[in-house]
Amino acid sequence: MIVFDLESYKDVEDTNYISWKSNNIQAPGNYKDPAKIAENIAQQKAELADKFALSPLTGKIILIGMLMDKLPPLYETDKTSYTTYSVGGTTMHYIGLSDNDESVLLSKWWDIFSFHNLNSPTIVSFNGKKFDLPFILHRSIIKKALVPRRIKMSDYLNKYRNDPHFDVYNWFDGGSLVEWSYRLGITDSLVRDGNKIGSWYEAGQMNVIADKNKIDLAQTFSIYQRVRDWL
């Protein structure tokens, strides 16, 4: 089993494409003051850039976090590559894949995914069918990362099936991870800090991003434990 969640950041390396994305931004027609027009356009561009991380066209993956019950052989021999802790009474291993080269990160993901597809194909996510897994697939295509063809990805993306991919968000048909964790008594906090990922990344605080990622994964798995007997 893999419980997975990705973190992303805006990808602005292709300046030609980024310029094209914001090419048609204009101030409202009733704006006459050049200074206010420039200020409005700048604000719209900033708001647009804030959304770049949410699309594989304009966002890159900076971390893929995974909780898993079984480690791939390569990781079993490297004790520094994972941490082990108990989540809801179950021993799980955490691996956080991050690399300045996104292609390398994606290749590592597909190696792990392939192992689990053959040995323990269940994956668990929160909105992974609509966001995380398509994002990984599309970035893999853009970055020319090798996606294993022997894996039938349509099974993992099928919104009407809970196996082999159980999507907590899809099963509940809405609500945020924080809300469901709170309502189920998994956490007593309603703090949502996903909007801080960008500033943490810019400050080089990958450890803080990883800590947030671990919390999200633990909450996702804890919810899965609560509902799996109802499947």
User: Residue 88: which CATH number?
Assistant: 3.30.420
Looking at the predicted structure, is the pLDDT value of residue 106 above 80?
A: yes
Within a domain: 25: no
Residue 150 lies in a domain: yes
Per-residue pLDDT at 140 exceeds 80: yes
Q: What are phi and psi of 117, to 5 degrees?
A: -60, -35
The CA distances from residue 98 to 29, 64, 143, 161, in Å, are 45, 7, 15, 30
Q: Is residue 133 part of a domain?
A: yes
| Cβ neighbours around 19 below 10 Å, total | 9
How many domains is the chain built from? 1
Q: Which domain does 134 fall in, by range?
A: 2-8+64-230
- The answer to whether position 94 is within a domain reads yes
In a domain, 187, yes or no: yes
In a domain, 212, yes or no: yes
**19 found inside a domain:** no
Residue 144 has pLDDT above 80, yes or no: yes
* DSSP structural state of residue 127: S
Give the pLDDT band of residue 18 (cuts 50, 70, 90).
confident
Average model confidence (pLDDT) for the chain?
A: 92
Inside any domain, residue 35 = no
Please, what is the Cα angle at 99 between 96 and 103, to 5 degrees?
110
Residue pLDDT, tens place only, 27-77: 888 888 888 888 888 888 888 888 899 999 999 999 999 999 999 998 988
Cα-based distances in Å from 176 to 29, 102, 183, 190: 37, 27, 11, 10
